[in-house]
Amino acid sequence: MKPAILCLQPLAPARQAQLESTYEVHGPDADLASVGARIAAVVTDGHKGLTADQIARLPDLALVASGSAGLEGIDRAALAARGIPLTNPAPALADEVADVAMMLLLAGWKQLPALDAHVRSGAWGQAEFPLGRALAGRTLGILGLGTIGTAVARRAEAFGLRIAYHSRHPKPVPHAYEPTLASLAGRSDILLVIVPGGPETKGMVNREVLDALGPEGLLVNVARGSVVDEPALIEALTAGRLGGAALDVMWNEPRPDPRLLACPNLIVTPHVGSATQDTRDAMSRMVLDNLAAHFAGRPLVSPV
């Protein structure tokens, strides 16, 4: 008999077909009163989530496999209370998100939109663009030196950036550790945000942190919009207390606050950190790999 899976968020089409050929798959409209007792694993993501109430209705649940790196909608405390493992595909998307982070970092530091506008407007024919700032020798502060943060650090070092970081605990890495986020921002020219969303990190990049980064500093966020206090960011950019921001994520996606979009020295992209066909397929494949490992009694591929 095939193991029963509750699939709350479909995988990439080809991988979803594999899921449905391998397992007994029940969709998000499944009647848990009738099938819940048979569900052995759940496929979901940070947006569709998995609530404590749903978990309670799945007595044989033994694995939750997230199709996204973000886990904010999944009740991890309820899973931990029952010892149910959780996986996500962070290794599959780390390089893609790191590439987007570096794209935003370079575009923000080198003022790419302003350079483009200078040429298109005809202003180049009247005067040269003001001199910019070199990148090499600056300090990149990374908030969250996990799988993705480490991938960014490797790329940043190739550009001659010094790396510092803040996380819950120091890591065995050759980078400077800062015990607080404010102290990290204070020593950084560029602050990269790459921590999970959710209540624990909501608004942690606040006015104090933005002021520590300062009027010459650049904020880059490829994590979740909730991690940054957006009203404080709008105020800091508008008042010139922060040099600039480059954001792939923000509040109220996909309809950002018009006040944010009106800010000077702002670059925004539409949450495209992992948005390539190759990466999305790899993420879905990792969900299948985690399921296969679990049901074969092998170690999970990417446990959280």
- Enumerate residues 6+ apart whose C-beta is below 8 A from 86: 63, 64, 65, 66, 71, 74, 76, 79, 303, 304
Q: Write the DSSP assignment of 18-40 as a string of letters.
A: HHHHHSEEE-TT--HHHHGGGEE
Q: Tokens at residue 210, please?
A: 């933005």
Q: Which residues on adjacent β-strands are paired with residue 93? A: none
Active-site residue set: 224, 253, 271
Q: Tokens at residue 23, please?
A: 């397992």
Q: Check: CB of residue 133 under 8 Å from CB of residue 171.
A: no
Domain map (residue ranges) of the chain = 4-88+277-295, 93-268
What's the CATH code, domain 93-268?
Answer: 3.40.50.720
Report pLDDT for 211: 98
pTM of the model: 0.92
The CA R_g of the chain, rounded to the nearest whole Å, is 21
Q: How many Å apart are CA 69 and CA 91, to the nearest integer?
A: 9
Report pLDDT for 70: 87
Report pLDDT for 130: 95
Q: How would you write the pLDDT of the chain (304 residues) with one tens digit per residue?
A: 899 999 999 999 999 999 999 999 999 999 999 999 999 999 999 999 999 999 999 999 999 999 998 899 999 999 999 999 999 999 999 999 999 999 999 999 999 999 999 999 999 999 999 999 999 999 999 999 999 999 999 999 999 999 999 999 999 999 999 999 999 999 999 999 999 888 889 999 999 999 999 999 999 999 999 999 999 999 999 999 999 999 999 999 999 999 999 999 999 999 999 999 999 999 999 999 999 999 999 999 999 9
- One fold for both 4-88+277-295 and 93-268? yes
What's the CATH code, domain 4-88+277-295?
Answer: 3.40.50.720
